[in-house]
Chains A and B, each alone.
Chain A
Amino acid sequence: MSGTPKLSPRTRTISIVPGRRRVRWGATLSVVLLAGVGLVALVSPMLSDAATRQSVLDALLPPGSPGHPLGTDELGRDVLMLTLAGTGSAVVGPVIVAAGSMTLAVLLGTIAGYVGGFVDGVIGRGVDVLLALPVMLVALVVAGVFGAGYWVTVVLLIVLFCPSDIRIVRAGVTEQAPRPYVEAAQMLSLSSSRIMFRYVVPNTWPLILTNVTLNVGIALVALSSLSFLGVGVAPGTPDWGRQISDGRGVMGDNAAMLIVPAVLIILVTMAINVLGDHLGTRLRERGIQ
């Protein structure tokens, strides 16, 4: 079938006849990039010593210097090692934030959407209150009260990410709840928790998955922003956001210090979104909406 037209991924899902499997370069590249980043994140704690080795003599070397391909910062730390070592905090936190907030959201959003009535009202008002809070301001205040720290920030972001996730899950659940397959399960007198978490939730997977991946990207940016503001990780710790913050002052001497982590944040965020989109499409193709 050489004459058949190339189909866009969107068409695939609405087409009447299932098409051929095609290699999707966006998704493949994303997987490769994320696998690489994940691997580096795993070994990054071991790099932290090498990354934080200071040498006043080598301060602010430009990229391409011997022994320092990306140059050094004002403390003489190697920017390449710093960036690699910073991968851990850049990746682990956002993943925990996205997964943690979605776990809470699936629990609360499903109950709100399926049970409805008073329960829905209580959860809904709580969500409204949390949504009305200015995220960055709260983060700064909390950091001021409890002291700045990576894990404090992660927990804070989970709480702050949760309300919008709850709304999304609730919307997905209210869409599924009146469907005949749910009512058929009610007719069989299956327990509500079984119907909620075995019937309804799996059918909102594409929605959940897409949002988790979106949130990893947003959390990565948020954590980096907070680190940039000096709230996230402690000063001196290798971290992409921290690097951008510190790199601002020395842009004239070593721009790589700012550009490299910034580009990495963009790339990783994009890769996660592309992958999430792809997985959502694949699930939808299998008849789950």
Chain B
Amino acid sequence: MSTSSEQLNARGVVVRSLAVDGPSGPLVRPLGFTVGPGRTLAIIGESGSGKSVTARALTGLLPRGLEATGSASIDGDRYPLSTGERSAWDRIRGRRAVLLLQDPFTSLNPVIRCGAQIGATVRARMRAERRRVSGSSLKLEVERRLDEVRLPPDVARRYPSELSGGMRQRVAIAAALAAEPRLLIADEPTTALDASTQGGVLDLLGDLQKRHEMSLLLISHDLGVVAGRADDLIVMRRGEVVERGRTNRVLAAPEHHYTRALLDANLSVTDTTIPPRPPSPMLLTATGVSKRFGSVTALDAASVDVARGEIVAVVGESGSGKSTLARCIAGLEVPEAGTITLDGRDLPPGRRGRHPGEMQIVFQDPYSTLNPVFTIDRSLRDALRLAGGQTTVGDLLELVELDPALGSRHPSQLSGGQRQRVAIARALAPNPQLLICDESVSALDVSVQRQILDLLIRLRDELDLAMLFITHDLGVVANIASRAIVLQRGVVVERGSTAQILRAPQHPYTKSLVQAAEHDSIHGASAQAALQVRPSR
């Protein structure tokens, strides 16, 4: 750290003793950092770490009820973080510092054309610079900005709903950059995007940042995203900085045990731990399953089979039809064609005539998977109602390694991981032969993901359960499935053992997925060298 006068004159961003207080205590303990021009600082943390609150505090966008203290300076222009006055922020927000939000599906206004959304920022900047705003100069500038994010000029006339997620995030970036900010804060900029588009968007961000000499503050839960992209790294946990330093150093030789735990929890695609299963008779066979939604073919003659005690992954990006396949098998959607056979019996399409002991689903979102008005106890008792066994609610909770005392709580009083455990317990209540996991760990923090996957593997071993695991995450596939099928636009493009698919993908689409996953993996190219000096534990 240099002296304070030097810091004040420094180019780039200097943040001093930023802290955020909530109604029931501090959310972020005082922290300071500097980000030089053209440099990238990453703040890493799981949910509740205070990383997003920190980002919002810098742009005065905290939710009501939270208060920030401390100060920041951008290129020597110092401003306090404590003020709630809108006008005070007008000088900073959208000019010097811009916040890029996570979800490109909601951060753009759906009823305004993309060009106009970028134009709004352009116009504001031109006004601030006292330049005359004319229709033609605005149009030219918007097209220049679109070109910068590698989008064709005709995107200006489109509505956000006509664009893919990746394109929308590019539009959002163009709108952010049109303000020519000195500090760009990207809060989980690619978390909502498919793996194959994530890399492109992140690389683009890096390029633009270098070209504009911007300071970039990258907020993420994913160490893979920041490896090779951030110069410096801050790891936060429960509002406190647990570790900071050069990214290469932190990844190679983490000092704090929490950082180490995060690194270990990161599911790698390269070390497949699941051995192929010895051949056993098939439990589930789904053949030629097709489903259309209006004019869109969601699923085109897809087939999959699962043997007893086996975990098979269904891999694909959003819109690939992987969830539709799961829902058709479960009877939650009625397919137009195809047969579903379980244990030698043909199952009817739809839920009518199905038995709860045949198969159960564990859904993705731990927040809506349990009935909010029921206690855990009540939810599980309902699940046991038709099962008719000797199993009690306590047994179920024990099975998923939860304290039976949690039974009296409502879902809102549990963490995401705990809720997902309850959801697994509920699914196991009727003693199903097949468990379908539809992105069951995608919404969880990495360290919790690992625990849930371990639980599922343990349950598979103990109960000889067959599982169909729907996921977009090849890291998850590598760590749980022995076989996988890859879906692209409703068609199965590749099938084989996990090792085969991850190490020697045949189809170009599978190849691109594996490449994207490897690129984002901290065990991938950029951190490979660093990893070799990682001390053994």
Chain A positions near chain B (C-beta within 8 angstroms)? 1, 3-5, 7-8, 10-12, 14-20, 179-181, 183-190, 198-199, 202-203, 205, 286-289
Contact = CB atoms under 8 A, between A and B. Distances in A.
Nearest to A3: B21
B365 A202 contact: no
A17 B412 contact: no
Given A8-B64, A189-B351, A190-B382, 7 more contacts: A11-B64, A15-B22, A181-B371, A185-B382, A186-B332, A188-B386, A188-B430
For chain B, the bracket of interface size reads 35 or more
B340 to A, nearest CB: 15
19 contacts: A5-B23, A5-B67, A11-B64, A14-B64, A15-B66, A16-B27, A17-B22, A18-B23, A181-B370, A181-B372, A183-B361, A187-B360, A188-B385, A188-B386, A188-B430, A189-B354, A203-B371, A288-B372, A288-B373
B368 A181 contact: yes
A256 to B, nearest CB: 44
Contacts of B21: 3-4
Interface string B379-417: 000110110000000000000000000000011100000
B330 interface: yes
A202 B359 CA distance: 27
Nearest to A287: B412
A114 to B, nearest CB: 13
B65 A189 contact: no
Nearest to B371: A181
B24 interface: yes
Interface of B: 21-25, 27, 63-67, 330, 332, 351, 354-356, 359-361, 363-365, 368-373, 382-383, 385-386, 410-412, 423, 426-427, 429-430
B361 to A, nearest CB: 6
A18 B24 contact: yes
A189 B359 CA distance: 11
Nearest to A18: B24
A289 B367 CA distance: 12
A10 B65 CA distance: 10
Contacts of B385: 188, 190
Contacts of B63: 11, 14-16
Contacts of B411: 287
A115 to B, nearest CB: 13
A14 B351 CA distance: 37
Contact of B330 (A5, A16, A187): A187
B22 A286 contact: no
A19 B430 contact: no
A180 to B, nearest CB: 4
Contact of B410 (A7, A199, A287): A287
Contacts of A20: 23-24
Contacts of B430: 188
Given A19-B23, A187-B356, A188-B356, A5 B65 contact: yes
A187 B332 contact: yes
A287 B27 CA distance: 22
Q: Closest 4 interchain pairs by CB?
A: A287-B412, A180-B363, A19-B23, A11-B64
